[in-house]
Amino acid sequence: MSKIYVVGIGPGEYEQMTMRAANALSSCDTIVGYTVYVDLVKAHFADKEFLTTPMRKEVDRCVLAFEEAKKGKTVAMICSGDAGVYGMSGLMLEIGVDYPEVEVEVIPGVTAATGGAAVLGAPLIHDFALISLSDLLTPWEKIEKRLLLASEADFVICLYNPSSHKRKDYLQKACDLMLQHKAPETVCGLVQNIGREGETYRILTLQELRDTQVDMFTTVFVGNSMTKEINGKMVTPRGYRHGKEE
């Protein structure tokens, strides 16, 4: 049976790829992916065949991977972060219905939420919600409702795709919604270029975040009512009791 691995390659730096992901890429014949992601792995797997498609050609990319597998090749479809978090594994499994002769195995990776959390300290120790601000595939009205309800429930909120050339004010709009239920002094964090050259982070309040410009390579973390800054790190307590019992 032909085989396709759907591989989350992590933030982009080879050292942050899981061993299982690296082994899958080493064992395959062909690596398929979005041009930018393929460029991140080419140097480490130079002996492989590489096939790429541009952004917004996701369906074509998946079909390409299955057609290559039908030829008897072992194929890896790569995604940044984790293939199952805003990645390609869902679409691959949907399209795979038309290719019953091809086995699909999903290989997890480090997504920006966990990669960025490690840079900031420990913002996701308690319940959290992961919300993308991209309205390319989700209506803004639905995103707005998710932001309001997650804020009301006092979740830590991690925001993907907080800005783009066409969505410069979306983070500000999101902050205005969250401020309906979260205090202006809520501890927040930004991480840019997670696991890549130029990685930087900043801790700030929700009110400051509202007036901050970010780019598409930034992941945003908004704390809950208990989140605090400790020695320059963002920490959300789990509620463990420590110290001497009375």
Name the least confident of 13-17, 63-67, 136-140: 13-17
Domain boundary among 40, 72, 107: 107
pTM assigned to the model: 0.92
Domain boundary residue among 107, 130, 158? 107
* Per-residue model confidence (pLDDT) at position 23: 97
Residue 246 in domain: no
Whether residue 102 is found in the same domain as residue 176: no
Is the pLDDT at 245 greater than 60? The verdict is no
pLDDT, residue 244, reads 52
pLDDT digits (tens, 9 = 90+) for 119-138: 999 999 999 999 999 998 99
Residue 243 lies in a domain: no
154 and 231 part of one domain: yes
The domain in which residue 150 lies consists of 112-235
> Residue 36 maps to which CATH number?
3.40.1010.10
- Regarding whether 97 and 37 lie in a shared domain, the answer is yes
Residue 244 lies in a domain: no
Which residue type does 46 have?
Answer: A
Asked if residue 120 and residue 51 are part of one domain, the reply reads no
User: How many structural domains does the chain have?
Assistant: 2
* Reported confidence tier of residue 243, pLDDT bands at 50, 70, 90: low
What is the C-alpha radius of gyration for the chain, rounded to an integer number of angstroms?
A: 20
Tell me, what's the pLDDT at 246?
A: 42
pLDDT in tens, 157-168: 999 999 887 778
Say how many residues make up the chain: 246
pLDDT tens digits along 195-242? 888 999 999 999 999 999 999 899 999 999 999 999 999 999 998 876
52 with 66, same domain: the answer is: yes
What HEC string does the chain produce? CEEEEEEECECCCHHHCCHHHHHHHHHCCEEEEEHHHHHHHHHHCCCCEEEEECCCCHHHHHHHHHHHHHCCCEEEEEECECCCCCCCHHHHHHHHHHCCCEEEEEECCCCHHHHHHHHHEECCCCCEEEEECCCCCCCHHHHHHHHHHHHHCCCEEEEECCCCCCCCCHHHHHHHHHCCCCCCCCEEEEEECCCCCCCEEEEEEHHHHHCCCCCCCEEEEECCCCCEEECCEEECCCCCCCCCCC
Domain identity same for 78 and 151:
no
Tell me which of 71-80, 107-116, 234-243 is least confident.
234-243
> Is residue 133 assigned to a domain?
yes
Tokens of 73: 């090749």
Residue 242 lies in a domain: no
Structural domain includes residue 134:
yes
The Cα 238–Cα 115 span in angstroms is: 19
CA pair distance 216, 113, nearest whole angstrom: 14
Which CATH number do you get for residue 229? Answer: 3.30.950.10
| Structural domain contains residue 71 | yes
Indicate the residue among 63, 92, 107 that finishes a domain: 107
Are both 47 and 155 inside the same structural domain?
no
**What separation, in Å, do the N-terminal and C-terminal C-alpha atoms of the chain show?**
64
Using pLDDT thresholds of 50, 70 and 90, give the confidence band for residue 182: very high
Q: Is residue 146 situated within a structural domain?
A: yes
Q: CA torsion 89→134→114→48, rounded to 10°?
A: 40
